[in-house]
Amino acid sequence: MCIISGKRNTNSYIVTRGCAIVCVSEKLELLEVNGEVNQKNAHEFAINDGAEEEVATEFVAEASDCVTQHKGVDDECLRALPIAKCFRTKNKDLD
């Protein structure tokens, strides 16, 4: 179950938005327990959203790369926004 806590700090915007991203990703089963991208589910998600096979495969690879780039941030909520930004930047080429 995903609960967005009432964490209070100077990064409350980042924490709240980051926790929301994590929550949605968990509900869609796009993430493994260890925070890695669930390759199979992410691929199926992309296909079901209308992506062709090649684009879905690249989608998963780019998402996984972004997660790997930001492994140094321990707090999953603080880590989520930089991962989302990384993926959004990489994803512009997939349109």
The model's confidence at residue 11, banded by pLDDT at 50, 70 and 90, is low
Q: Which residues pair with 31 in a beta bridge?
A: 37
Among 38-42, 49-53, 75-79, 90-94, where is mean pLDDT lowest? 90-94
In a domain, 18, yes or no: no
**Those residues with Cβ within 8 angstroms of residue 42's Cβ, 6 or more apart along the chain or in another chain:** 30, 59, 60, 63
Residue listed under structure tokens 């603080």: 78
Residue percentage of the chain with pLDDT more than 70:
83
Number of domains in the chain: 1
4-39: buried (b, 16+ CB within 10 Å) or exposed (e) per residue?
eeeeeeeeeebbebbbebbbebeeeebbeeeeebbe
Q: What is the enclosing helix (H) or strand (E) of 14?
A: helix 12-27
In a domain, 24, yes or no: no
**CB-CB contact of 43 with 58 (8 Å):** no
- Domain span at 77: 36-94
Residue 43 has what pLDDT?
97
pLDDT tens-digit series, residues 36-63: 999 999 999 999 999 999 999 999 999 9
In a domain, 29, yes or no: no
The model's confidence at residue 16, banded by pLDDT at 50, 70 and 90, is confident
Residue 33 has what pLDDT?
86
Q: What is the pTM of this model?
A: 0.79
Q: Dihedral sign, CA of 59, 60, 61, 66?
A: positive
Residue 1 has what pLDDT?
46
In a domain, 76, yes or no: yes
In a domain, 2, yes or no: no
In a domain, 81, yes or no: yes
In a domain, 64, yes or no: yes
In a domain, 54, yes or no: yes
